[in-house]
Amino acid sequence: SVIIGTLLRINYIYWSGFLADILEIDQLGKRNGLPDSLRELLKKYPRDTWEEDVLNGNWVGYWLGRHSVFKEISFAINQSLHNILDNKISTDKFLSDYIQLMNLMLKNLNSHHTVEDNYIFPKFSQKIEKFSYGLDLLENDHHLIHSSIDNVVVEGNSIIKTINDNKVSDIKKVVGSYKTVNDTFEKLLMAHLNDEEDLLIPLVVKYGEKYFDLGH
């Protein structure tokens, strides 16, 4: 049977110039966590000291909740890929789940990054000038992630069409090839989410949400 659906490419709108080609930016995928120049507050306020009143704050709680959603969707996509490779689900079940999950990821990630670039990051930048590079770093991450998304959409739509056209002679080979593209995207996204939290949460720990006039 034919599973109707395609991956939707949503235009990514950002608030300042394109940064990915600036060589001075520590590139996502090449750095190991935040660069040392941005770890000062993280060393003072490491993750294991972040208290519940901060993590459950009006803005922080909501923001971290969105990060959790992306991690859960990513896990579900990976699970679906592993299930089809292990013959645990049918091709139709895989396509149905994959199209739904990936479009959910793309739609929510686009809106999340747009809000960060146009609303959240400027608020931090206005208050903490010395962290402007860190915020440029995160915005640059967004561009690199969305470049990876372009590959996911192209390859994902290709696999959807190939399966629906009954042109698959070896489903494991087709899905396995796509999985390398998905793994690259997931690696970038997970690294970015962690770095974003490591940069911004210590700022909120030190100054509080009200200082940055945060809301949602």
Given a cut of 90, is residue 25 above it in pLDDT?
no
Q: What is the mean pLDDT of the chain?
A: 86
Mean pLDDT to the nearest integer, 195-205: 96
* Band (162; pLDDT cuts 50, 70, 90): confident
Mean pLDDT to the nearest integer, 130-153: 87
Mean pLDDT to the nearest integer, 109-123: 89
The answer to whether position 48 is within a domain reads yes
The answer to whether position 7 is within a domain reads no
27 or 54: which carries more pLDDT confidence?
A: 54
The answer to whether position 6 is within a domain reads no
189 or 1: which carries more pLDDT confidence?
A: 189
DSSP-derived letter for residue 169 is S
Q: Which residues contact 129 (CB under 8 A, 6 or more apart)?
A: none
Query: Residue 27: its pLDDT value, please?
Result: 82
The answer to whether position 4 is within a domain reads no
| Whether the Cβ atoms of residue 41 and residue 154 lie closer than 8 Å to each other | no
The three-state secondary structure class of 89 is coil
Mean pLDDT to the nearest integer, 103-121: 89
Closest CA to 159 of 177, 147, 183, 180: 177
Given a cut of 50, is residue 205 above it in pLDDT?
yes
The Cα–Cα gap between 211 and 190 comes to: 28
Q: Got the DSSP string for 4-61?
A: ------PPP--SS---TT-TTS--TTTSSSS-GGG-HHHHHS-GGG--HHHHTSHHHH
The Cα–Cα gap between 164 and 139 comes to: 37
Residue 61: give the domain boundaries.
38-212
Query: Residue 23: its pLDDT value, please?
Result: 45
* Band (216; pLDDT cuts 50, 70, 90): low
The Cα–Cα gap between 118 and 14 comes to: 7
The Cα–Cα gap between 86 and 102 comes to: 20
Name the one residue in this structure whose structure tokens are 């959910």. 104
Report the amino acid identity of residue 167. K
Percent of the chain whose predicted confidence (pLDDT) is above 70: 88
The answer to whether position 3 is within a domain reads no
Q: Which residues contact 167 (CB under 8 A, 6 or more apart)?
A: none
Query: Residue 139: its pLDDT value, please?
Result: 87
CATH number for 85: 1.20.120
The answer to whether position 69 is within a domain reads yes
89 or 25: which carries more pLDDT confidence?
A: 89
Query: Residue 24: its pLDDT value, please?
Result: 65
Q: Structural domain tally of the chain?
A: 1
The answer to whether position 1 is within a domain reads no
Query: Residue 19: its pLDDT value, please?
Result: 42
Given a cut of 90, is residue 118 above it in pLDDT?
no
**Cα(first)–Cα(last) distance of the chain, in Å?**
43
Query: Residue 4: its pLDDT value, please?
Result: 52
* Band (117; pLDDT cuts 50, 70, 90): confident
Q: Which residues contact 55 (CB under 8 A, 6 or more apart)?
A: 61, 64, 201
Mean pLDDT to the nearest integer, 7-16: 48
